[in-house]
Amino acid sequence: MAEDAILIDSTTAAREKRELRAMLRSQRLALPAVERMRAADAIVGHLLDHPLFAQPGYVAGYWAVGGELPLHVLQMRLRSDQVWCLPCIQADDSLRFAPWRPGDELVSNRYGIPEPALAAESQLGPEDVSVILMPLLGFTRTGQRLGMGAGFYDRSLAFRQRLPAPPALIGAGYAFQEVPGLQSDSWDVPLDAVVTEGELMICRGVG
């Protein structure tokens, strides 16, 4: 009987997450391009004011799709001793990160998202990156993140459940994506901070 109750609770939680993802994704897709760019301009100021962006290192972003908050404005304003990177999906469904500048060759991954055309052995492991900016569908002020559900970031960053930064993990999204709470799973990796057009929220460890 107890096992049946756990199964029902798990099924309900999974359905609620699917419904929340669908709702937030629809709202994000409906956001006009001008508002996305305005939000991107605002987050640059919040991030560059933080000490994490006053030191050299690798900074990983993402190639924005599906209405995600675009980050190319941030890339253009990094210091000369900071290197912009993009995620690359590996055969084992983990992520590595490759330096990329406008004009460098790109290839499409299995989802049609561009990745730097750099051999896996020349890419960086997440532990070699100073800051990772992560896309999201929803977030809480305590650092919970709702992604698309594929688990690429949680799988790749599992070591951050027991170890401090680096990399510092910063969720990047719009203020309307904040939710009061999320059902946590054992594999979830919490964010250190979340940045929106309105503010930079420090959740743990990088303040």
**Which domains, and CATH codes, for the chain?**
2-202 (3.40.50.10420)
Q: Alpha-carbon distance 32 to 28, whole Å?
A: 9
The pLDDT of residue 127 is: 96
This prediction has a pTM of 0.90
Q: Give the pLDDT band (50/70/90) at residue 4.
A: very low
Residue 137: pLDDT over 50: yes
**Among positive and negative, which fits the CA dihedral 15, 21, 24, 25?**
negative
Nearest-5° Cα angle at 70, 136 to 97: 70
- Please provide the distance, in angstroms rounded to a whole number, between the alpha carbons at the two ends of the chain: 46
DSSP states of 26-45: HHHHTS-HHHHHHHHHHHHH
pLDDT at 90 over 80: yes
How large a percentage of the chain has pLDDT more than 70? 94
pLDDT band at 1 (very low <50, low <70, confident <90, very high): low
Residue 8: its pLDDT value, please?
46
pLDDT band with cut points at 50, 70 and 90 for residue 65: very high
In angstroms, the CA 85 to CA 116 distance is 9
pLDDT (average), residues 124-139: 96
For residue 29, count CB atoms less than 10 angstroms from its CB and return exposed for 0-12, middle for 13-18, buried for 19 or more. Answer: exposed
Q: Whole-angstrom Cα distance, residue 185 to residue 145? A: 11
Which residues neighbour 33 within 8 Å (Cβ) at sequence distance 6 or greater? none
Tokens at 168, concatenated: 């510092």
pLDDT of residue 42 exceeding 70: yes
